[in-house]
Chains A and B, each alone.
Chain A
Amino acid sequence: MSLPFLLEIGTEEVPDWMIRNALEDLRAQFVKLGVPHETVQVDATPRRLVLRASGLPERQADSVERVQGPAKSAPPQAVEGFARRQGTTPAGLTVEATPKGEYYVFHKQVTGRATRDILAEALAGIVLGIYFPKTMYWTGKGGPRFIRPIRWLVALLGEDVVPFEIGGVRSGNVSCGHRRLGAAQVPVTCADYEQRLRENCVILSADERRARIVEGLSGAKVDAELLETLVYLTEYPTAIEGGFDPAFLELPAEVLVTVMRHHQRYFSVEDADGKLLPRFFAVMNIGADPEGFVRRGNERVLRARFTDARFFWDSDQKKKLVDRRKDLGAVTFQAKLGSYRDKARRMKALVKDLGGKAASARAADLCKCDLTTELVGEFPELQGVVGGLYARAQGERAEVWQAIYDHYKPVSMEDSIPRNATGRIVALADKLDTLRGCFRVGLVPTGSRDPFALRRAAQGVVKILVEGGMDLPLPDLLEGNAELIAFFQERVKFYFKDARGFQYDEVNAAMAAGWSNLADLDARLRRIQGLRQSPDFEPLAASFKRIRNILEQARFEGGAGIVESLLEEEPEKELYREYQSIAGQPIENVISRLRPKVDLFFDKVLVNAPREEVRQNRLQLLFELRREFSKVADFSEIVTTS
């Protein structure tokens, strides 16, 4: 008989951002248990993690266990004793040949265990084994640990409760509805579980909650990240629309949107031209707001927040950015690396090395000053942006205020780089200064620990250099710090492989031919991608690998030059002539001509000629050929399928 299985872990509100990973972990652990099943599905709301499976057997399959007894030569009493212990007689035993001789053997019929027993034994371990980034105990020291207290457990196999217990809570068939709109005790079966929850104002399916929210957001910009947060922050979501005084639109849209999205979890609303409208959508965890209590409450909170922001905006303006430079001396950047004033001074020197002009120096001078403003104190995520906005209001040139505004960019692999060249230089100087300083004083990321986000900073440097097409030699900017150069080498590889999607062998090949200029490296990688389409590419790459091996084995590192008179056989003369005629041309144009000559050479010519001068001459030919065509990439790094 095949049975459905339901497990519901009833908890207090689990942080929204942890739920999806927890569900996948729950699923994986259930699958690992090895109980046969047809389907398995996981769902969650903030108050419940749920696993449902179908097609579980009532019992595991029967099996036969082979128990080896005494040797055939053993006295009869020993044989009888063995049989008795196995619950049989000597007639029930067989004699089998083993590598050590003939032995009595009993084939024991083992009845499969009841699935319910297996689950009862395993479930507590599975639940408490779910990984969460931070756990707590709630029954007292030494008690179970989970993300939040477990308050009820439903575990049903078919119609039977699978009995287990965690921290004094015993499993049963009673779930719990919405905190205020549903019943506190909701008896369920495997079949009616989802329906019973629905009757008690809990929508189990995240897809359905998501659809319900989106449906209510007519006209709003659907921010995917915020939507997911709200899907896992509610059991019965309903979107409502509110508004605010249009007078607040005088404040920068960046500030208004940050308040709405990050602090209040509202969706902002824009018109067709992308201009912010004085409206918002909030998502409630109840079904309706007939009296408008929730709408008015949210509107008042938003008004208070905006009033605060306006207060900060106005009072910050009383002191210009340029007059705040001195105050940066009191803001520590890092204990061993001094204050932000020190950092700004270093950046100012660094932008010059990066080819920056007066605008870059001005932006570097001012870009950290917003750290002393009240608005950034209130909205730290707006650092840079606020500085840019103040700089604009205080009459700085567009080039300068935009550079300040953008100088933390890119904040992720998906984020864009600063919009103008000045911004790119200031952003580079900021990140390079942090990286150089931290590596100098030994603050180097290890494993998953990277408290200063140095990987992200390095990634930003790489992205700006490549996507800004900047002609700057990266390794020269790293103060000859070998550790930092190696760190960057990894980040360059990561960028081209994971962010840009080049094959790892293409990246290795291109970097082996140099990675000092990243814009150039990018161009070469794109050429390799193009070359890879050619049918001649892989065979030629294989030949280059062969050439590399031959040269390495011969420990040949280049000689005087090719002596034409020492070229003996026709294929090597042909290869030489071809080489001479195509040298200096882009490899794309000559690959189809070169390949047959190389193939022929390896087919007909023995590099290890008996005569030393001839051998040296052939090695020289291969050496020059490799050097000539390795400017784009070291093709011997390409992994060939043939």
Chain B
Amino acid sequence: MESFQDIIFKLKQYWAERGCIIQEPYDVEVGAGTMCPETFLRVLGPEPYRVAYVQPSRRPADGRYGDNPNRLFKHSQFQVILKPSPADIIEQYLGSLEAIGIDLKQHDIKFEEDNWEAPTLGAWGIGWQVMLDGLEISQFTYFQQCGGIDLDAVPAELTYGLERLTAFLQVRDSVYEIEWAKGFSYGDVRYRDELQYSVYNFEMADIRTLWKLFDLHEGEATRLLAAYNPKSPDKKRFPLLPTYDHVLKCSNLFNTLDARGAISVTERVGVIQRVRKMAVGVAQAWADQSRVAPAAEVAE
């Protein structure tokens, strides 16, 4: 039986053999692997890039105090970006499932329409959810736009839900029962995270403090973006990556405030707009800094 970490090793090995840089998780909290600069910024521009990494992804509202066998505050995504997407991309993807021990002649795979959209990132794509014996195991997306910019090359993004995939392979009904490494269950490693973050996100997070933090990070990102000068000869030095970290902080604070029930539906739209504005600002500056998209081509 493959452990949780065996599956990660095998996926990394498989995609490394297909030209991917293997990255480590990004060190700022994110809601999905897509938000990491390795995806969000690297998909911009025409330069080919291939990368794969595990990204712990935080969804405060999905926390269940460790009680629910299928729902997690923090789950692990295995994220693959192939830019541009090769013609045999689906075959390569199916090959990765076989590499972790799934015999696809004995299992049912279906590609069901599921177009992905992230309003806070000004990003969307066309694709599928991949169903394995009725279980959604991956999201497969051809990116069309990111940061409000039409993409030059069309990257394919593959996102594997690692906990689900492992539970499937190990035939476990609860995520907490899957074997992380020999002698250690997922619950041994992660239960306390689930419990404590649920308590914090739903009960103890101080709303005023979170709003204050949101404003601080937003202020810093906005200040930096305003200082970016496309005409400056030194623009390559400009710290857009640190700027983006502040945007990610805002996004996570927004999700936490939302889980805490501190954002009314009316307010929601406004806050999403604020985060989107910063994310789009970083993407556009990044495209300019990389000298890949003349300002005129940047979509509104």
**Which residues of B in the span 90-132 have a Cβ within 8 Å of any Cβ on A?**
90-91, 94, 104-113, 115, 125-126, 128, 132
Between-chain CB contacts (< 8 Å), 12 pairs: A141-B152, A148-B126, A181-B105, A264-B134, A285-B109, A290-B106, A296-B171, A297-B132, A297-B135, A301-B134, A302-B134, A303-B173
Known: A134-B126, A136-B126, A181-B105. A282 touches B134 (CB 8 A): yes
B56: shortest Cβ distance to chain A, in Å? 22
Q: Chain B interface: which size bin?
A: 35 or more
Asked if B70 is an interface residue, CB under 8 A from chain A, the answer is: yes
Contacts of A222-258 to chain B: CB distance below 8 A: 233-234
Given the interface pairs A138-B142, A293-B106, A311-B68, the reply to whether A332 lies near B265 with Cβ below 8 Å is yes
B residues sitting closer than 8 Å to A (CB atoms) are: 46, 68-71, 84-85, 87, 90-91, 94, 104-113, 115, 125-126, 128, 132-135, 142, 144, 150-154, 168, 171, 173, 261, 264-266, 269
Chain B CB within 8 A of A120 CB:
no
Find chain A residues with CB under 8 A from B125 CB: 136
Most chain A beta-carbon neighbours within 10 Å: one of B110, B142, B153? B110
Whether A179 contacts B94 by the Cβ 8 Å rule is yes
Min Cβ gap A545→B in Å is: 54
Q: Which of A136, A149, A285 contacts B108 (CB 8 A)?
A: A285
Is the CB of A16 closer than 8 A to any CB of chain B?
yes
* Residue from B85, B133, B142, B144 whose CB has the most chain A CB atoms within 10 Å: B133
Count of inter-chain pairs, beta carbons less than 8 A? 111
Query: Which B residues are CB-close (under 8 A) to A330?
Result: 261, 264-265
- Which B residues are in CB contact (< 8 Å) with A304? 69-70, 173
Determine whether the beta carbon of A285 is less than 8 Å from that of B110: yes
B111 in contact with A46 (CB, 8 Å): yes
Min distance, Cβ A16 to any Cβ of chain B, angstroms: 7
Query: Interface of A with B (CB < 8 Å)?
Result: 12-13, 15-17, 46, 134, 136-141, 148-149, 151, 179-181, 184, 233-234, 264, 266, 282, 284-286, 289-291, 293-294, 296-298, 300-304, 307-308, 311, 330-332, 335, 339
Chain B residues, CB < 8 A from A291 = 106
Complex Cα gap A140–B70 (Å)? 38
- Are the C-beta atoms of A140 and B94 separated by less than 8 Å? no
Q: Roughly how many angstroms separate A297 CA and B165 CA in the complex, as a whole number?
A: 12
CB distance from A47 to the nearest CB of B (A): 9
Selected from B111, B152, B168, B264, the residue in CB contact (under 8 A) with A297 is B168
A282 to B134, CA, bound (A): 8
CA distance A301 to B132 in the complex (A): 10
Contact A180 B104 (CB under 8 A): yes
Whether A233 contacts B70 in the complex (CB less than 8 A), given A136-B144, A140-B153, A297-B133, comes out as no
Contact A294 B105 (CB under 8 A): no
Tell whether, in the assembled complex, residue A233 and residue B134 are in contact, meaning their CB atoms are under 8 Å apart: no
Chain A residues, Cβ within 8 Å of B132: 297
Note all chain A residues with C-beta closer than 8 A to B108: 282, 284-286, 289, 294, 297
Contact B107 A294 (CB under 8 A): yes
**With A134-B126, A285-B108, A332-B264 as contacts: A140 and B154 at CB distance below 8 Å:** yes
Complex CA distance for A537 and B152, rounded to whole angstroms: 69
Chain A residue numbers with a CB within 8 Å of B84 are 139-140
Partner of B105, one of A151, A286, A300: A286
CB distance from A138 to the nearest CB of B (A): 5
Q: Which residues of B contact A296 (CB under 8 A)?
A: 133, 171
Which residue of chain A is the closest to B98 with respect to CB atoms? A180
CB-CB under 8 A from A282, the residues of chain B are: 108, 134
Cross-interface CB contact of B135 among A180, A233, A301, cutoff 8 Å: A301
- Cβ A297 vs Cβ B173 within 8 A: no
Query: For B70, what are the chain A residues with a Cβ–Cβ distance below 8 Å?
Result: 304, 307-308
A293 touches B144 (CB 8 A): no
A88 CB to nearest B CB, Å = 53
Instruction: Classify the interface of chain B: helix, strand, loop or mixed.
Output: loop
CA–CA, A75 and B260, complex, Å = 97
Q: A180-B109, A293-B106, A304-B70 are in contact. Are A134 and B134 (CB under 8 A)?
A: no
Complex CA–CA separation, A479 to B203 (angstroms): 46
A137: chain B residues within 8 A (beta carbon): 144, 154
Docked Cα-Cα span, A2 to B43, in Å, equals: 51
* CB-CB nearest in chain B for A305: B70
What's the Cα separation between A303 and B144 when bound, in Å?
A: 36
- Is the CB–CB distance between B134 and A136 below 8 Å? no
Q: How far is the CA of A266 from the CA of B135 in the complex (A)?
A: 13
Cβ of B168: which chain A residues have Cβ within 8 Å of it?
Answer: 297, 300
Q: How far is the CA of A266 from the CA of B152 in the complex (A)?
A: 40
10 closest cross-chain pairs (CB), A and B? A297-B133, A15-B113, A13-B111, A332-B265, A284-B108, A298-B134, A136-B126, A301-B134, A180-B104, A301-B135
Give which listed residue, A17, A181, A302, A307, contacts B69 with CB less than 8 A: A307
Question: For the complex, what is the distance from the CA of A12 to the CA of B113, rounded to whole Å?
Answer: 11
Chain B residue contacts of A179, Cβ below 8 A: 90, 94, 104, 109
Determine which of B104, B110, B151 lies in contact with A233 in the assembled complex, contact meaning CB atoms within 8 Å. B110
Question: Which among A16, A138, A331, A335 has the greatest number of chain B C-beta atoms within 10 A?
Answer: A138
In chain B, what residue has the closest Cβ to A46? B111
Q: Which residue of A lies closest to B269 (CB)?
A: A335
The residue that A141 contacts in the complex, of B105, B111, B151, with Cβ under 8 A, is: B151
State whether A140 touches B152 (Cβ < 8 A). Answer: yes
Q: Which residues of A contact B144 (CB under 8 A)?
A: 136-137
- Closest residue of chain B to A290 (Cβ to Cβ) is B106
A332 cross-chain contacts in B, Cβ below 8 A? 264-266
Q: Is the Cβ of A297 less than 8 Å from the Cβ of B154?
A: no
8 new A-B pairs (CB below 8 Å) besides A234-B110, A286-B106, A335-B269?
A134-B115, A179-B90, A286-B107, A294-B108, A297-B133, A297-B134, A300-B168, A332-B266
Tell me if B94 and A12 are in contact (CB < 8 A). Answer: no
Q: Which residues of A contact B261 (CB under 8 A)?
A: 330
Chain B positions within 8 Å of A264 at CB level: 134
Contacts of B153 in A (CB 8 A): 140-141
What residues of chain B lie closer than 8 Å to A290, measured between beta carbons? 106
Evaluate contact between B113 and A16: CB separation under 8 angstroms: yes
- Minimum Cβ distance to chain B for residue A301 (Å): 4
- Chain B residue contacts of A266, Cβ below 8 A: 134
In the complex, chain B residues whose CB is within 8 Å of the CB of A148: 126
B229 to chain A, nearest CB (A): 27
| Residues from chain A with Cβ under 8 Å of B90 in the complex | 12, 179
Chain B residue contacts of A300, Cβ below 8 A: 135, 168, 171, 173
Q: How far is the CB of A86 from chain B (nearest CB, A)?
A: 50
A102 to B70, CA, bound (A): 90
CA distance A46 to B132 in the complex (A): 17
- In the docked arrangement, what's the CA distance between A10 and B235, Å? 46
Q: Nearest chain B CB to A233's CB is how many angstroms away?
A: 6
Chain B residues positioned under 8 Å from A285 (CB to CB)? 108-110
A219 and B90 CA atoms in complex are apart in Å by 36
Complex-state Cα separation, A342 to B178, whole angstroms: 47
Residue in A closest to B68 when the chains form the complex, CB atoms = A311
CB proximity of A442 to chain B, nearest CB, Å: 19
How many angstroms from the CA of A296 to the CA of B125 in the assembled complex?
33
Q: How many Å lie between the Cα of A285 and that of B113 in the bound state?
A: 16
User: What chain A residues lie within 8 Å of B171 (beta carbons)?
Assistant: 296, 300
In the bound assembly, the distance between CA atoms of A82 and B243 in angstroms comes to 75
The CA-CA distance from A141 to B94 in the complex, in Å, is 27
In the complex, how many angstroms separate the beta carbon of B298 from the nearest chain A beta carbon? 12
Point out the residue from B68, B91, B112 that lies within 8 Å of A308, measured CB to CB: B68
- Complex alpha-carbon distance, A339 and B115, angstroms: 29
**Chain A residue contacts of B94, Cβ below 8 A:** 179-180
Contacts of B85 in A (CB 8 A): 138
Whole-angstrom CA separation of A494 from B187 in the bound complex = 60
